Amino acid sequence: IFRVFDMYRQLCLPLLLLLLLLLLRQAGPAAARYEPNWQSLDSRPLPGWYDQAKIGVFIHWGVFSVPGFGNEWFWWRWRGVPPFVRPEQPFVDFMAANYPPGFTYADFAREFKAELFNPEAWADTLSRSGAKYVVLTSKHHEGYCLWNTSHSFNWNSAQVGSGRNLLAELAAAIRNRSDGPRFGVYHSLYEWYNPLYLTDAQNNFVTQDFVRYKTMAELYELVNQYRPEVIWSDGDAGVPEYWNSTEFLAWLYNDSPVRDSVVTNDRWGFGTACKHGGYFTCQDGYNPGKLVSYKFENAMTLIKGSWGYVRNLRLTDIYSLDEMLETVVSTVSYGGNVLMNIGPTSYGVIPALLEERLLQLGDWLSINGEAVYNSTPWHLVQRDANATQLVYYTSRPDLGSVYAFLMSGPPAPGAGPVRLASPKFAAPGANATLLGCPTAAPPVRLAYRPGVSGVYLTLPGQANCPDLLSGPGGPWVVKINGLL
């Protein structure tokens, strides 16, 4: 019996060891653990989906949407912090002319009813915009929260105003769509007039009651309950040590339910912007205008001068189609993402002018998205100011293609070929097509001219490209294979 047992042991033990080895190999290397310091946190690779996405929509929505005057800093600009920050007279005059004496900012919250808010309609517009991620203000500097939170008593949408969990409704509507973008949240670390924060400030931030019981408690709650894939931090006045930012980020990257896919920005305390974080925003509207070693995001607003809704909005206050698309193209050509902001009304509607811009962007991307999504900067040049017209470039190494964005659109009839000053042919088989032009249309002709640098493009006649002529407008994009 013992001899039989010994024989089985000799046979089975190697098999068990082999099976264990295979299981370990399938499991792959152990997941990295990040320590609560910037050297460790900054070593985390950025999840690949974010760089591929390129386009996001920012939504600034809150109590500031009710007065809809000036911008989303209405409370601060109306009340100030005497004697350090004086109230601004236009805001004082607006309140005196339109509201009774004794009316407080908190009174506006009762009017933040969102009675026309249709999250499915928003999700439809956001999906049709071509955006691959959406970032909603869960809480701005005013401290009002758009979700049902236990950390903001009677200063959240579930308890005062609409009586609804606005964040949860929008997140669900977006995620219920097969073509929906990823959902993320903006969260302000500080709150202008929160007594806990003001007490910590008076104590030179030696105490951390506001951080412990309010703002960080909110962040953990947001992540655990709503699983956002973008955490867009802001309002980070004060040293990072006060905010306990690195402790939160270590938990977020190591143990949170979104640890594998979440991305974060760079506003986690004074001195962190453009230095620490998953990707860099540096400042609002940031575009370095050159290739940089880090991933950046251009957070910009379609409403000039405001991130929140303003009631006296005029057409000239909105980015034009051409301005919007040049922002998109110039940012993407240098390797950045664009986070394009809109400000809905207090009653829950995206203003028609802003909705139009989003849908125009989506129409343009439906034709030219191949040159935007999953693209990388072209190694040779990103901006060609010496061409016949301003041209930006992107590339798709996976397709072996370079894309030239003709920012003025098609040349006028009889204007002749478009000269690209920078590119050179890589091989005799180089070829080009115009995105959005049917395959049956005449091809784009490529040519050199003796003694003149660059490549000349002869585009098919405009009549051959009816979808482009009837489309949204904006840059035309030429796809070229075979360039150095």
**Tokens representing residue 321 in the block:** 């189609």
pLDDT digits (tens, 9 = 90+) for 102-131: 999 999 999 999 999 999 999 999 999 999
The pLDDT value recorded for residue 25 is 44
pLDDT of residue 451: 67
Looking at residue 406, its pLDDT comes to 95
Count CB-CB contacts under 10 A for residue 313. 18
CA distance 384 to 428: 23
> Rg for the chain (alpha carbons), in Å?
27
CA of 237: how far to CAs of 168, 209, 270, 272, in Å?
Answer: 28, 16, 6, 10
What pLDDT is attached to residue 483?
Answer: 78
Tens digits of per-residue pLDDT, 314-325?
999 999 999 999
The amino acid at 449: R
Distance CA 404, CA 61 (A): 37
How high is the pLDDT of residue 454? 84
Q: Which residues of the chain have pLDDT under 50?
A: 1-2, 4-5, 7-8, 21, 23-29
Torsion sign across C-alpha atoms 93, 98, 103, 105: negative
CA distance 454 to 404: 13
The whole-number pLDDT of residue 255 equals 98
Dihedral sign computed on CA atoms, order 437, 438, 442, 445:
positive
CB 111, CB 346: distance < 8 Å: yes
Backbone angles phi, psi at 431, to 5 degrees: -150, 165
- Domain map of the chain by residue range? 38-371, 383-481
Q: What's the CATH class of domain 383-481?
A: mainly beta
pLDDT digits (tens, 9 = 90+) for 210-265: 999 999 999 999 999 999 999 999 999 877 899 999 999 999 999 999 999 999 99
Amino acid occupying residue 335: G
Query: Superfamily assignment of 38-371 in CATH?
Result: Glycosidases (3.20.20.80)
Residue in 170, 168, 68, 154 with CA at minimum distance from that of residue 110: 154
Contact 216, 243 (CB under 8 A): yes
pLDDT at 5: 43
Q: Could you tell me whether strands 391-396 and 476-481 are parallel, antiparallel, or unpaired per DSSP bridges?
A: unpaired
What pLDDT is recorded for position 17? 54
Would you state the pLDDT for residue 175? 98
Q: Is 184 helix (H, G, I), strand (E, B) or coil?
A: strand
What's the order of all strands across the beta sheet hosting 230-234? 263-264, 230-234, 182-188, 133-139, 55-59, 337-342, 297-301
